[in-house]
Amino acid sequence: MGSYTIQQVLIPVGQGYETVDVQIEGDAIAAIAPHLEPIGTVIDGRNKLLLPGFVNAHTHSSELWQRGSIAPLPLELWLGELCDFPLPDPEQVYLSALGTAVETLLSGGTTVVDHLTLIPGQEKETVAAAVRGYQEVGIRAFVGPLIQDQSLTTSLPTGGEQRTHVPHYMSLQDNLDLMADLVANFHRPEAGMNIMLAPTGPQLCSNALLTGCVELSDRHSLCRHTHLLESKAQQMLAYEKYGCSAAEQLQRLGFLGDRTSLAHCVWLDDADIAILAATHSTVVHNPLSNLRLGSGIAPILKYRQAGVNVTFGCDGSASNDSQDVLEAIKLGCILHNTTDFDYRHWITPKDAIQMASLGGATGLNLADQIGSLTVGKKADLALYSLTNLSLLPRTDPIGLLVLGRPTQVVDSVWVNGRLVVQQGEMATLDVATLRQELFERSQWDGTRHSPLRQEMEAPYRRVMGLPA
């Protein structure tokens, strides 16, 4: 780590912009003011925009291996197809963590929340591989191992049909023991590496597993993360399973709170929204995945009006299929204009930037440490070149960044004061080698066949009221 002075850079201030110098010393923002006496490495900030780093607040890194593969299907059948792919090995997990981190950083993200799929029998090795990748690249990471104690077929509502399910291979106690071990071995917040308690979702977890996660996370002041009501089928299932909404059930179990972020939140009603507001929980909106899986349009404008903190995620690459945070921000900004005729409620580009930075930090209980251009906060920063064709002519820099389709505009990125992207290239990783590894371990394939998806299709169509 060194010191940096970014000279004459644009930063957003109120409704407009100011030109200032910004200094980084060690891991923190040391000064923001015009005409500072330079320290350390001097960086020309002219015709560049400096913003706090974004949080890619929900993804599943190892889905990178499936991106582009799965046909247009709703969540439940998509999951069946996903489960039919061969399991990755830990080296592949490492490589997909690298790929996820690189795409996140090169689109202005400085933190990734990886809801990480575990390799059965190699759970600890899975986490170790992802952690290694994130630390090498130098992105701030929250790794939430995907744990559950119920098998996939239990996630379909029954509509009263009798069904039998094979037990999940991991018991309640296996899960909790694993998590205690992972916390002890990998949770190093001062190094930018955090473990979260991240049960897959109410649709695949017992109440005991959810409360076990609450206890463990409270003991160590860890963040909690889960999927919540992504699909209509999940909404139906919650009423079958609990007799109430899944949001109400999570509240009863003590899962919600200001260290809890909830991916998707598409099928919540007004009472559920009030629960999220009252518990200071964070909604992670994944607009592209919600569209691709036909999950629906999350009621984001209602969340904002109710005072619920909202931020954005890319979701795993098998359901988006990209880790471009700016793309998620653009869609998260404009999609909701179709849900409310009163444009005074619409999200502005500046709102969207704040949701992606401070909103993301808030959901990770880090609002006092990252998420804004504030002296004393950690230097998690992205510097954008505004002379790229995709950001010309010069108008409103944040308008261009959010509403346009910027390509290759990230000039530099610092995480915790470390320069990880320099002049548009990764400073911490040889991307050509990563590309070669990804290339060699894969093959073009336009024709896939999934027995599990086929098996799930008939019951899914029956319970969802679709014609056979």
In the bound state with its own copies, the residue whose beta carbon lies nearer, of 70 and 250, is 70
Q: Is 172 an interacting residue with respect to its own copies (CB under 8 A)?
A: no
Q: Is 236 an interacting residue with respect to its own copies (CB under 8 A)?
A: no
Q: Is 46 an interacting residue with respect to its own copies (CB under 8 A)?
A: no
Which residue of 33, 42, 184, 431 would you call a contact of its own copies, by CB under 8 A? Answer: 431
Q: Is 83 an interacting residue with respect to its own copies (CB under 8 A)?
A: no
Which residue of 45, 53, 80, 99 would you call a contact of its own copies, by CB under 8 A? Answer: 99
In the bound state with its own copies, the residue whose beta carbon lies nearer, of 41 and 387, is 387
Name the token pair of 20.
């200032």
- Name residue 362's amino acid: T
In the bound state with its own copies, the residue whose beta carbon lies nearer, of 88 and 212, is 88
Scanning 21-29, 69-77, 174-182, 359-367 for contacts with its own copies by CB under 8 A, the matching segment is 69-77
Q: How many residues bind its own copies (CB under 8 A)?
A: 89
Which of 65, 83, 117 lies closest to 451, judged by CA?
Answer: 83
Which residue of 72, 86, 243, 376 would you call a contact of its own copies, by CB under 8 A? Answer: 72
Which residue of 39, 128, 236, 291 would you call a contact of its own copies, by CB under 8 A? Answer: 291
Axis crossing angle, helix 90-105 with helix 123-137, rounded to the nearest 10: 30
The Cα–Cα gap between 245 and 393 comes to 49
The Cα–Cα gap between 133 and 101 comes to 8
Distance of CA 138 to the CA centre of its chain: 17
Which residue of 305, 405, 425, 433 would you call a contact of its own copies, by CB under 8 A? Answer: 405
Task: State the minimum distance, in angstroms, from the CB of residue 290 to its own copies.
Answer: 7
In the bound state with its own copies, the residue whose beta carbon lies nearer, of 131 and 463, is 463
Q: Is 439 an interacting residue with respect to its own copies (CB under 8 A)?
A: yes
Q: Is 458 an interacting residue with respect to its own copies (CB under 8 A)?
A: no
The Cα–Cα gap between 416 and 413 comes to 10
Q: Is 320 an interacting residue with respect to its own copies (CB under 8 A)?
A: yes
Q: Is 346 an interacting residue with respect to its own copies (CB under 8 A)?
A: yes
Which residue of 4, 65, 94, 255 would you call a contact of its own copies, by CB under 8 A? Answer: 65
Task: State the minimum distance, in angstroms, from the CB of residue 377 to its own copies.
Answer: 23
Q: Is 459 an interacting residue with respect to its own copies (CB under 8 A)?
A: no
The Cα–Cα gap between 7 and 35 comes to 8
The Cα–Cα gap between 293 and 63 comes to 15
Task: State the minimum distance, in angstroms, from the CB of residue 145 to its own copies.
Answer: 23
Q: Is 214 an interacting residue with respect to its own copies (CB under 8 A)?
A: no
Which residue of 6, 30, 57, 102 would you call a contact of its own copies, by CB under 8 A? Answer: 102
Task: State the minimum distance, in angstroms, from the CB of residue 330 to its own copies.
Answer: 8
**Residues 260-289 close enough to bind its own copies by CB under 8 A:** 288
Which residue of 66, 100, 200, 354 would you call a contact of its own copies, by CB under 8 A? Answer: 66
Half-sphere exposure of 367 (CA within 13 A, CB side): 14
